Structure 1
Amino acid sequence: MKKNKIRIGCGAGFSGDRLDPAVKLVKDGELDYLVLECLAERTIALAQKRKMANPELGYDPLLEARIESLLPLLLEKRTVLISNMGAANPVAAGKKILEIAANMGLKVKVAVVSGDDVVDKLSPEMVVLENGKELSSLGKIISGNAYLGVEAVLPAFQHRPDIIITGRVADPSLFLAPMVHEFGWDLGDYSKLGKGTVVGHLLECAGQLTGGYFAEPVMKPIPGMENLGHPYADIFENGECIISKVEGTGGEISVAIAKEQLLYEVINPFAYLTPDVEADFSSVSFSQLGKNKVSVKGGGGKIKPEKLKVSVGYEAGWLGEGEISYAGVYAKERGKLAGEIINKRIGELFDELKVDLIGINSLHSQISDEDSLPYEVRLRIAGKSKEKHLAERLGHEVEALYTNGPAGGGGARKYITQLVGIVSILLDREKIKSQVHLFEN
């Protein structure tokens, strides 16, 4: 029987998000669904590297900790978990959840959505959206993951699972799928799909909607941030919703915060592209219904795109980093001189070299001699190179400033990282075939 209202909470907005807000949502939020949104472009490329090193890995690093803390509550409250924690290896993630459940003496049914991995469908002549060049101009390709939509997730509900695990599914689609399932929305009703996408887009970053990204202590103070609650939405069959949070948690639900989140990562609010719909955010309206309650109305959509975005990861060389601090009189000048020394010695060896005095020019790239003199600065130098030995040398050069000057350097550290580059291409959706695998004990 179709429902006329469902409640969906978001317990994670990225892979490294806190564990406790999700537990609180399931325990006290009276949810129908909990969504954990744990993927970004670089996240899944790094997951592919872990899978290449070990075929049994490639899912989210915090999957085990999240499932162990949530599973008993999910089953007790009959809350269905939907998450893209499967990352580069959703099937292995499903098997791992079954293993965790068995160790905890619990019965669980897990539906796994796969098919987003399309690296075998990439070809060298495909055009990169960001720069118009061909894929062949990049380094070694390590991943290619298409953004799946609602159509890939809907078959999973037929199995009445306790948990749905996916790989790369578009963020708002994780929230839209249960709406389509519960309300029986037609996949050609782009107006409702657009409204549901608005809700999903608002919820997908979790604590951002309760003030985490909004907060600024002078102009925009938010209460109780040490106990920031994550949001949930009561969603109605017509696509409207009311956003709130669990009583007693920190943070705030307000019109101002919701407006900021609506425009987060949106280039064109008249045409926000997802695998499901070309959503129109221009007619969305908010109203404050009371403390920590905001009504969301409006929005719409047009026909869905013919092609799907594919996030492509490739080996992009090496990053060498070195840091050292200077304190006391003329700290800024000594730090500036240290950066100039390194640049003159090895700057021309790197594809790109960045010299930052943290707290002065690391974000805005300008040093003004008219600025008040800081008592201390931290110099950071980072260089990109295709050669590992050059990346290693950068850190050694910074460390050598200890005795080679300028005076008073201390706290030197050095790092080296293999870089993963990310670009996007478009792929015909007919070439992408999703599947659902069922695991239960």
Structure 2
Amino acid sequence: MSVLRIGAGAGFSGDRIAPAVELAEKGNLDFLVFECLAERTIALAQHARLKDPASGFDPMLERRMRAVLPITARNGTRIVTNMGAANPQAAARLVRKVAHDLGLHDLKIAAVTGDDVLDVIGPCQLDETGSTAAAMGKRLISANAYIGIAPIVAALDAGADVVICGRASDPALFLAPLVHHFGWSMDDWTRLGRGTLVGHLLECSAQVTGGYFADPGVKDVPNLARVGFPLAEVDEDGNAVITKVAGTGGCVTRATCTEQLLYEIHDPESYLQPDVVADFSKVMIEQIGPDRVAVSGADGRAATGRLKISVGYRDGWKADGQISYAGANCVARARLAAELVQQRLEDAGIDLIESRADLIGYNSVPRPVANEQAAPPHEVRLRFVARCKTPEIAQLVVDEVEGLYLCGPAGGGGVTRNVGEIIAIASTLMPAKNVRTSFEMLETQDAVA
């Protein structure tokens, strides 16, 4: 029975590059997947594209591609990624340029498009507000559908060595290579469910190899400084072994895989995806060797016919001012500082949409303090944050925090100030038939702009 080897080169936009390089070099991979988008990431990317039409893709795209393309091209490993974010076509052009610079003149690079549905989102009712997207007016900046595997499979079938998507479903990035390689039918719900399980286990990179699992003295993970990224050995029926490159840090165990299996799953019997409703309720997880875990038993049924849409919109300006207090009575001094900022803003007639004050290291996570009688910390950091209507108001807020240096309680220091626009996220659903996807193929033999 043939086996496909597929690895995770990233689990979020800021993920480390070195483990991906090691996986590309030593993983004997057929496919390397970089999953780099979150709900808010795509909206921020759209915001960046509004400022510069040539931008809007993952900021680490070039660094990642320069690091792995020489290896994947040499080894015949194909890449699938959502680093295209808000601008897959510009991302594909950049990857073509990188390949050209590296002397890789025989690569085919596909840009998957169609997830951007801003032009048709207007009538859709948003879950969070109950109003339509159109009611947001100029505040509305983006709307992206979580698309499925069809255009990715089509690009791979056409010979793409690198497939760059925007807002595809995370597991779809892994499921598409399986469907392409094994020739699974698009209505083979059981295999699609199993492939979705593989994607779900791999999509967050080191979460399944011990990175997010580690808790010293409770769940110890060996050599975490050199944690390896995961790969799966998948058979033609969709069952898999989750593992990592020998000699890398971290661990792949029944416990790490179980934690990742439960991650972001609302209903294990109905994990809604664009291509299938996956059923993980009967999944079996078995340790079959050191850093080797067999997973099987997933199933699936027909998809709902609706796609989740992530909607980005402007939601005011954030003012974030921080200052530290240390030594005896530091909690009381920090509390007084927060009260002073609040009072001075009120006295000045400054209208805030909302605000909060946290004492980091004491009551910020969770709130309130569980045991007020516990020994006080040696230091705390006051964070006063507000949502404001304008950047000018936000600036006045952080000015008041900085004013605590001499006009507040004793011993404050280390002020930081940050003002930035808030890009918020809302969700809705749209009939899948209204989302039209396709792909555009670039070749490195083509002239580079």
1:264-283 aligned at under 5 Å gives the runs 264-283=263-282
| 2:121/2:134 contact within 8 Å kept | no
Contact (CA 8 Å) 1:356, 1:365: kept in 2 or not? no
Partner of 2:57: 59
- Structure 2 alignment gaps of length 5 or more: none
The counterpart of 1:399, out of the listed 402, 423, 447, is 402
Letter in 2 for 1:266: I
Matching residue within 412, 437, 440 for 1:437: 440
- Give the secondary structure class of the aligned counterpart of 1:171: coil
Q: How far did 1:344 drift?
A: 2.5
1:325-365 per-position Cα deviation (integer Å, ceiling 9, x unaligned): 11111011101111122222326722211101101111112
Partner of 1:178: 177
CA distance in structure 1 between the aligned counterparts of 2:133 and 2:50, rounded to whole angstroms: 21
Q: Distance in 2 between matches of 1:157 and 1:355?
A: 51
Provide the rounded CA distance (Å) in 2 between the counterparts of 1:49 and 1:203.
29
CA contact (8 A) 1:280 1:301 kept: yes
Structure 1 position 159, deviation (Å): 2.0
Aligned in 2, Cα 1:190/1:22: closer, same or farther, shift over 3 Å? Answer: same
Distance 2:421 2:120 in 1: 25
TM-score (norm 2): 0.95
Note the C-alpha offset of 1:191: 1.2
Indicate conservation of the 8 Å contact 1:360/1:366, yes or no.
Answer: no
Counterpart residue identity of residue 366, structure 2: H
The residue aligned with 1:75 is 73
- Distance in 1, matches of 2:382 and 2:302, equals 51
Residues in 2 aligned to 1:30 and 1:217: alpha-carbon distance in whole angstroms? 32
Unaligned runs of 5+ in 1: none
For residues 166-199 of structure 1, give each alpha carbon's deviation from its aligned partner in whole angstroms, at most 9, with x where no partner exists: 1111000000001111111111111111111011
Q: What amino acid sits opposite 1:132 in the alignment?
A: G
Question: 1:339 maps to what in 2?
Answer: 338
1 CA distance for matches of 2:201 and 2:128? 26
Indicate whether 1:351 and 2:350 are aligned.
no
Q: What is the identity, as a one-letter code, of the residue corresponding to 1:223?
A: P
Cα deviation for residue 136 of structure 1 reads 4.4
Residues in 1 aligned to 2:179 and 2:329: alpha-carbon distance in whole angstroms: 63
Aligned residue type for 1:336:
R
Q: Deviations over 1:100-131 (max 9, x none)?
A: 111122112111111111101111x4211234
**1:117 partnered with 2:116:** yes
d(CA) in 2 for partners of 1:136, 1:96:
34
Q: 1:23 aligns with which of 3, 18, 21?
A: 21
Q: Provide Cα deviations, 1:388-423, integer angstroms capped at 9, x if missing partner.
A: 222111111111111112111111111101000001
Partner of 1:41: 39
Amino acid at match of 1:82: V
Tell me by how many angstroms 1:25 deviates: 0.7
- Post-superposition offset of 1:135: 2.4
Instruction: Report if the CA contact (8 A) 1:319-1:419 is conserved.
Output: yes
Partner of 2:393: 390
Partner Cα distance (1:4, 1:151) in 2: 23
- Distance in 1 between the 2:127 and 2:280 partners? 23
Contact 2:13 2:60 in 1 (8 A): yes
- Once residues 287 and 246 of structure 2 are traced to their aligned partners in structure 1, the CA distance between those partners, rounded to angstroms, is 16
Cα distance in structure 1, aligned partners of 2:52 and 2:134: 27
- The answer (yes or no) to whether the contact 2:124–2:430 under 8 Å persists in 1 is no
2-structure distance, mates of 1:390, 1:52: 24
| Structure 1 partner of 2:126 | 128
Inter-CA distance 301–251: structure 2 relative to 1 (3 Å threshold): same
Instruction: Tell me which residue corresponds to 1:255.
Output: 254
Identity of aligned residues (%): 45
Cα offset for 1:59? 1.0
Give the TM-score normalised by structure 1.
0.97
- In structure 1, the partner of 2:240 is 241
Amino acid across the alignment from 2:40: R
From the superposition, tell whether residues 187 and 21 of structure 1 become closer, same or farther in structure 2 (CA, over 3 Å): same
Give the match's secondary structure for 2:171. helix
Of the structure 1 ranges 346-355 and 187-196, higher mean CA displacement relative to structure 2 is found in 346-355
2:8 corresponds to = 10
Distance 2:356 2:167 in 1: 33
Give the 5 Å matches for 1:223-242.
223-242=222-241
Tell me by how many angstroms 1:430 deviates.
Answer: 1.3
- Return the alpha-carbon distance in structure 2 between the equivalents of residues 261 and 375 of structure 1: 36
Per-residue deviation, residues 50-98 of structure 1 (Å, max 9, x unmatched)? 2111111111100000010111101100000100111111011111111
Contact 2:228 2:249 in 1 (8 A): yes
Aligned length: 438
Cα RMSD of the aligned pairs, angstroms, is 1.3
Separation in structure 2 between the aligned mates of residue 120 and residue 98 of structure 1, nearest angstrom: 29
Instruction: Give the conservation status (yes or no) of the 8 Å contact 2:253–2:287.
Output: yes
- Distance in 2 (alpha carbons) for counterparts of 1:137 and 1:225: 48
